[in-house]
Amino acid sequence: AQKVTQAQTEISVVEKEDVTLDCVYETRDTTYYLFWYKQPPSGELVFLIRRNSFDEQNEISGRYSWNFQKSTSSFNFTITASQVVDSAVYFCALSARDNYGQNFVFGPGTRLSVLP
């Protein structure tokens, strides 16, 4: 069965600190996709990034970077020089096939608070 674990329930940092959000996934599928979403206080989930299982190249987008390591089944998300506007709940998600078909699974989320 598919599973996504985000061990950090809540993280607090002071503005300008770097912070890494952990994501560990489980799947037996060899072709799968990983996603990160941001949920600000307003409630809607905002798509941040997608990564497929064949592309282990790390990605950087401004202050955001993602580290995909297949060997440890991890897809960690780092925010550099955090800002108050980064305060949100961040979800990691996995899309993969199991015995019942394609499945999209969200992790429990990590609440990030960036203090001024």
Partner 1 sequence: DGGITQSPKYLFRKEGQNVTLSCEQNLNHDAMYWYRQDPGQGLRLIYYSQIVNDFQKGDIAEGYSVSREKKESFPLTVTSAQKNPTAFYLCASSIVPMGADQPQHFGDGTRLSIL
Contact residues: partner 1, CB under 8 A: 9, 33, 35, 37, 42-47, 50, 52, 91, 95-96, 101-104, 106-109
Q: Shortest distance, CB of residue 16 to partner 1, whole angstroms?
A: 27
Nearer CB in complex with partner 1: 4/79: 4
Minimal distance, residue 35 CB to partner 1, in Å: 6
Residue 15 or 22 having the CB closest to partner 1: 22
Could you please report the per-residue DSSP string of the chain? --EEE---SEEEEETT--EEE--EEE-S-SS-EEEEEEE-TT---EEEEEEETT----EEETTEEEEEEGGGTEEEEEESS--GGG-EEEEEEEEEEETTEEEEEE---EEEEEE-
Please state the closest distance from residue 81 (CB atom) to partner 1, in A: 26
CB closer to partner 1, 38 vs 79: 38
